[in-house]
Amino acid sequence: MTAIDAGTALPRQKTDFWPILLPLAMAAIAWPFIGAFSTWLTLTLAGLAMGMMIFAMASGLTLVFGLMDVLNFGHGAFISVGAYLAMVAFTPLAAFTQADSLSINLLALVPAMLLAMATSAAVGYVFERLLVRPVYGQHLKQILITMGGLIVAEQTLYALFGPQIIPLSLPTALRGSLEFGGAAVEKYRLLAVVVGLIVFLCLQFMLNRTKIGLLIRAGVENKEMVEALGYRIRRLFIGVFMAGSALAGLGGMMWALYREQVHASMGGEMMVLTFIVIIIGGLGSVGGCFIGSALVALLVNYAGFLVPKIALVSNILLMVAVLLWRPRGLYPLSSR
């Protein structure tokens, strides 16, 4: 038997650090303009907290697009559902949320998170079966039908809970601030950073260390071959769609607590930001989505402080700059 020559060494695989350095560079550049270290630290931590919440909302959207090639403009519905579920779950748990102890507060917060995720996942299942499945591979129809789905979801929430903005109080122990280096950092924002990091690490572990993750990464590249290997990609689609919806629900709940209010259109309002984030990160890339979320949120906070007039357009400018540098986003998938 002739053994095929093992061949010459492959080109060394380079790790692309530039995108990772961007948030650090942005923070470093902003510091001298902001001046006071304490203000800079407050803004930076606020930006990171906001970024982690946006990441939770957007990570599901990027996975759904990457694997299923579905442009889901209805993703905001799951964000709103998550927000309302926070309110629903907190009502019977008021004794826990109003206690002074953090651990007792968490006894209310964790079940509320799980409820928000489970309900959003269930809504995602129905959404996929009824609206998305008939339009696989048809982008224009996907946009129209998922936007329609978002409107129906919003109106249903209005019908169920009323049109008014509903105030939502933070659990007692999460109100107020802690002081770090002279900077006041809201306790809830620290929790948001922790939750966002946990979500990111769990996603990274799942994608890189489990067979389900391998299947998702392979499915993003070549669905047909995954099926030819004997795996049912449709089941994977549903699983990923539900997981993406659950993450949006979690993000929506975190966002509602951050804003201390709930209304049905809050998910729709976040859609522009989530799309900017996944475009900056590279469609389908979880790592890119993480960096994109941090960049967008940091910029909003810095711009809001330094040049409030351009804060509203700062995300668009950032997206344009990133796409001029890397037209397929920070971490494009090789298959797209």
Partner 1 sequence: MSDTLLALSGVHTHIGRYHILHGVDLVAPQGRTTMLLGRNGAGKTTTLRTIMGLWRASQGSIHFDGAAIEGLATPDIAQAGIAYVPETMAIFSDLTVRENLVLAARGGPPDEKRLEWIFGFFPALRKFWLSRAGTLSGGQKQMLSIARAIVEERKLILIDEPTKGLSPAIVVALIDCLKEIKRAGATVLLVEQNFRVAQEVGDLVCVMESGRVVHHGAMADLAADEMLQRRLLGLSLDSHQ
Residue closer to partner 1 (CB basis): 228 or 324 = 228
The Cα–Cα gap between 112 and 302 comes to 32
Residue closer to partner 1 (CB basis): 211 or 309 = 211
Q: Tell me which of 4, 32, 164, 324 binds partner 1, using CB under 8 A.
A: 4
Task: Write the CB contacts of 10 (distance below 8 Å, at least 6 apart in sequence).
Answer: none
Tell which positions 181-220 bind partner 1, by CB under 8 A. 211, 214-215, 217-218, 220
The Cα–Cα gap between 267 and 294 comes to 19
The Cα–Cα gap between 300 and 113 comes to 26
**How many chain residues are in contact with partner 1, going by CB under 8 A?**
31
Shortest approach of partner 1 to residue 249 CB, angstroms?
Answer: 28
Q: What are residue 262's phi and psi, to 5 degrees?
A: -130, 135
Shortest approach of partner 1 to residue 92 CB, angstroms?
Answer: 44
Tell which positions 316-335 bind partner 1, by CB under 8 A. 333-335
Residue closer to partner 1 (CB basis): 40 or 237 = 237
Residue closer to partner 1 (CB basis): 64 or 216 = 216
The Cα–Cα gap between 322 and 179 comes to 34
Q: Pattern of binders to partner 1 over 8-47, x per CB under 8 A? A: --xx-x----------------------------------
DSSP string, 231-294: --HHHHHHHHHHHHHHHHHHHHHHHHHHHTEE-TTHHHHHHHHHHHHHHHH-TT-HHHHHHHHH
Q: Pattern of binders to partner 1 over 152-171, x per CB under 8 A? A: --------------------
Q: Positive or negative CA dihedral for 208, 209, 210, 214?
A: positive
Tell which positions 227-256 bind partner 1, by CB under 8 A. 227-233
Shortest approach of partner 1 to residue 212 CB, angstroms?
Answer: 11
Binding window for partner 1 (CB under 8 A); candidates: 2-10, 170-178, 251-259, 264-272? 2-10
- 221 binding partner 1? (CB under 8 A): yes
The Cα–Cα gap between 76 and 84 comes to 13
Secondary structure element (H or E) that encloses residue 178, with its range: strand 177-180
Shortest approach of partner 1 to residue 59 CB, angstroms?
Answer: 18
HSE of 219, CA atoms in CB hemisphere, 13 A: 26
Amino acid symbol at 23: P
The two structure tokens encoding residue 31: 């510091």
Chain residues that interact with partner 1, rule: CB under 8 A = 1-7, 10-11, 13, 211, 214-215, 217-218, 220-222, 224-233, 333-335
